Chains A and B, each alone.
Chain A
Amino acid sequence: MAERSSQRSRGSVYPGYDVLAKWNSPSWNDKTRDVISRRLAVANDPRFFTAEEFQSVTAMADRIVPQSASHSRIPVAALVDRKLQDGIFDGYRPAGMPRDGDAWRLGLHALDAEALSRHGSRFAEMAGPDQDALLRRCEAGGLHAPEWAGMPPSAFFKHRLLQDLVLAYYSHPAAWSEIGWGGPASPRGYVRLDFDDRDPWEAAEAKPGDELAALRINRHVR
């Protein structure tokens, strides 16, 4: 797996593909353009979180969904912030866990308390590998500072930290282009459904040794 990953990460799998190039195509309708316009306009600043909390969420986002330099930066923390500000919640929570926004504040506070007691600095100021190690402890439930106030750290990690950051990253068109997804598709949809059966408005995958072929196709995907 590590071998394949390093092989894959050398370059883009879908060079030159930009899902936004289809903006005016029959794959995008007005409602979708409206929704994605608003998402692309989200500024990288906090409305729900405090400045300090926002710094922590940004640092966590860099560990959970590290961004490639090959695409414009996705404001992951701000996307989570807006979701909480708009009150868009999961709608369920394990017993002992507060509602989504309160859980975030509690968890950020507790993780900073853990960071301070273990490393003498706030989470956002720790080195990347130390941040990963602390997140892994959180994931495994191996944190016990009183600041958790009864919220299970592993539940916070799974239901809030991990899920919200991952969903925010993959709500962004830059992430859609990165994975070669067709993106919005109403009303055009798709015609070719079989194995290795690309519609002309879908991303072409770079085959090893022939990345240029995919690049040439992807520049014209509309």
Chain B
Amino acid sequence: MSDDPRHSPRARNGRAPDVFRPGRWVSMQQYADNEAVDFVIVGTGAGGGTLACKLAEYGFSVVALDAGPYFRPLEDFASDESEQTKLYWTDDRIVDGDNPLQLGSNNSGKAVGGSTVHFAMVSLRFRPEWFKARTKLGYGADWPIDWREMWAYYTEVEQALKISGPINYPWGPPRPRYPYRAHPLNAAARALARGCEAMGIAWTETPLATLSAPRGLAHPCVYRGFCVAGCSTNAKQSALVTWIPRALSAGAEIRDLAMVGRIETDENGLAVGVHYHRQDKWHFQKARNVVVAGYAIETPRLLLNSATDKFPDGLANSSGLVGKNLMAQANQAVWGVMEEEVRSYKGPPSLAITEHWNYADEGKDFFGGYCYMSQGPLPQLWAKTQASAHGLWGARLVEEMKRYNHAVGLKIVGEMLPQEKNRVTLDDEVDQYGIRIPRVTYSWCDNDKRLIDHSIGFMSRALTAAGAKDIWIQHDDTCHLNGTARMGSRPDNSVVNADCRSWDIPNLWVCDGSVFPTVGGANPSLTIQAIACRTADRIRSLARLGEIRF
């Protein structure tokens, strides 16, 4: 293919890339800018991609815009870390606070399919009590959704993505069997298992959104290990190869390289469409409903950048909470070397997991929980970790890197508490589209630090018990981004209601990780997709009741 999807859009002229067949296309319905569609969705990742599919399947007219390219994984993805940085959201952002976040490669994507194109595929359900964290566990905020309802939507997503997982999941209430069998353990995962068994806690194969058996035109995972640099074989069940093809065949239009800069509202305070930049021009798509699904930085950025005289503090912001309560997750690690060769680059990076400390509450001096997983960093990431987190450079770095094949590590995904001072605001500088850039402020609270200390102590003992030597700690890392447009039960303490609908503007919705009131100690993608499925069902019900204007 001679076209570069980063410079000219692919989804146009009534067709979109067929991600399963090199060089081929699938037909795509298209809408004119001045034709008011039922839903325009900003973002096509775990939230927007899923919602676009479900709403189109329910018969609504849908246009979903993404600022990123429409990749063909089989043709566009190299086995190369540097090249694949093209998957990341690397538009200019400023970070500050006591613990400035690392963004870019770490936690956001710019592509049709969003960051699911490069996520680690870890597909976990939340612990039921987390949906009532304030009432049942004494911290954070309650979700306005009951866990039993979520349990059904988790099942829907697990089936839709053909999640591979263990036959019996050791924690939480019963769940249906995973549709596909678990992947085999690599040596890094076996080290995790050894450590857990020595410490007397349970572990299991990680439920993963990558195929362990054929599915349609996609082959099972070949264990090439480049998962977080993009899957070139389509084994990874990203939104790009699952929800989006379904959305297209149900009649949704996808617009790639379409950056939304502003949501337009009318004199009645209703949303009427979005201004977006595509092919060097600004356009305006009319819509009866606008859904923002840009993830926890771009979503509040867009809401804030859409301020008007009527909404001087930004849209959906009468609570003053848009941009606030940003929650990353703690992502500390312990690393060591084994006498044996580990070669952790083989297979998905996190094939084994323990959620013990998500479900056990005794002996904790902190609120919340964490899981930890085995790790498989590729060379550039590993060298960067050794340099910036271990402080090695010069001959010490080059020599240490020669032990790459013996390196082993355990890394947490840990709950961080919502704090209003952790937030996204607008800086005065502008990006390449002329839109004010986000400033992301982040500081750990004492509870965050106690959780981190607990995890580091426990994992250090577990890794030692597994036989690792020369153990060291990676203190400063976070992953995932949530909060900033939280859902809740009242307009004064939340931005959207349980249906992801703005309290202030009834035809404005937010559907991504931004709506999380708390984050738990589990990767968020499965929950984001479950919320999107629920939102679609609620929209269908509300539409039937005449509670949505079309």
Task: Tell whether A210 is near chain B: CB-to-CB under 8 Å.
Answer: no
CA distance in complex: A184, B78 (Å): 8
CA–CA, A70 and B307, complex, Å = 60
Q: Closest Cβ of chain A: how far from B376's Cβ, in Å?
A: 11
Please give, as numbers and ranges, the residues of chain B lying within 8 Å of A167 by CB-CB distance.
Answer: 82, 380, 383-384
Restricting to A76-119, which residues have a CB under 8 Å from any CB of B?
Answer: 83, 88-95, 99
Which residues on B sit within 8 Å (CB–CB) of A23? none
Binds A, one of B197-205, B245-253, B341-349: B341-349
Within 8 Å CB of B89, what residues of A? Answer: 91
Separation of A21 and B338 alpha carbons in the complex (Å): 28
- From residue A202, how far is it (CB to closest CB) to chain B in Å? 7
Given contacts A35-B80, A178-B402, contact A166 B190 (CB under 8 A): no
Expressed in whole angstroms, the minimum distance between the Cβ of B466 and any Cβ of chain A is: 11
Q: Does A142 lie at the interface of the complex (its beta carbon under 8 Å from any beta carbon of B)? A: no
Chain A proximity mask over B458-481: 1 for CB below 8 Å, otherwise 0 = 000000000000100000000000
Pick the interface stretch among B181-189, B518-526, B530-538: B181-189
Interface centre among A83, A170, A205 (most CB of B within 10 A): A170
Q: A194 touching B402 by the CB < 8 A rule?
A: no
* A65, A89, A99, A192 pick with most chain B CB within 10 angstroms: A65
Docked CA distance A129–B78 (Å): 39
Chain B residue contacts of A222, Cβ below 8 A: none
Question: A170 contacts B402, CB within 8 Å?
Answer: no
Which B residue sits closest to A2, measured CB to CB? B396
**How far is B405's CA from A88's CA once the two chains are assembled, in angstroms?**
29
By beta carbon, the residue of chain A nearest B95 is A92
B116 to chain A, nearest CB (A): 18
For A62, the closest partner residue in chain B by CB is: B394
User: Of the candidates B102, B224, B396, which one forms a contact with A92 in the assembled complex, judged by CB atoms under 8 Å apart?
Assistant: B102
8 A Cβ contacts from B74-92 to A: 75-83, 85, 88-92
Contact B345 A181 (CB under 8 A): yes
Give, as a whole number of angstroms, the nearest-CB distance from B386 to chain A: 8
Stretch from A25-33, A51-59, A143-151 contacting the other chain: A25-33
Cβ of B379 and Cβ of A162 under 8 Å apart? no
Q: Once the chains bind, are B387 and A35 in contact (CB under 8 Å)?
A: no
Is B399 positioned at the interface, with any CB of A under 8 Å from its CB?
A: yes
- A205–B93 CA distance with the chains assembled, in angstroms: 43
Chain B contact residues, majority secondary structure: loop
User: CA separation between A164 and B470, bound complex, in Å?
Assistant: 26
A185-B225, A193-B184, A193-B185 known; A66+B394 contact, CB < 8 A: yes
In the complex, B10 has a CB within 8 A of chain A:
no
Check A94 against B388 for contact (C-beta < 8 Å).
Answer: no
**Quick one: closest A residue to B90, CB to CB?**
A91
Most buried by A among B96, B104, B399: B399
Query: Measured between alpha carbons, how far is A63 from B387 in the docked complex, in Å?
Result: 13
A9 close to B94 (CB less than 8 A) = no
Q: Is the CB of A182 within 8 A of B103?
A: no
CB-based nearest B residue for A184: B79
Q: Does A175 contact B (CB under 8 A)?
A: yes
Nearest A residue to B399 via CB reads: A5
Contacts of B439 in A (CB 8 A): 95
Query: What separation, in Å, do the CA atoms of A8 and B397 have in the docked complex?
Result: 12
Query: Are B224 and A32 closer than 8 Å at their CB atoms?
Result: no
Q: What's the Cα separation between A63 and B396 when bound, in Å?
A: 11
- For A91, the chain B residues whose CB sits under 8 A away are 88-93, 103-104
Q: Which of B79, B91, B340 contacts A32 (CB 8 A)?
A: B79
Chain A residues with CB below 8 A from B75, complex form: 31
Given A170-B380, A190-B346, residue A179 in contact with residue B226 (CB < 8 A): no
**A-B contacts, 7 listed (Cβ < 8 Å):** A88-B85, A94-B94, A95-B439, A166-B397, A170-B382, A186-B222, A195-B340
Which B positions have Cβ atoms within 8 angstroms of A? Answer: 75-83, 85, 88-96, 100-105, 184-187, 190, 221-226, 232-233, 338, 340-343, 345-347, 378-380, 382-384, 387-388, 393-405, 439-440, 470
A-B pairs, top 3 by smallest CB distance, nearest first, are A189-B222, A91-B90, A184-B79
Other A-B pairs beyond A65-B398, A190-B225, 11, CB < 8 Å: A35-B83, A90-B90, A92-B94, A94-B96, A132-B394, A179-B401, A186-B79, A194-B185, A194-B190, A195-B340, A195-B341
Residue positions of A touching B, CB distance < 8 A: 1, 4-5, 8-9, 13, 27-29, 31-32, 34-36, 39, 63-66, 68, 83, 88-95, 99, 132, 135, 158, 162-163, 166-167, 169-171, 175-176, 178-198, 202-203, 205
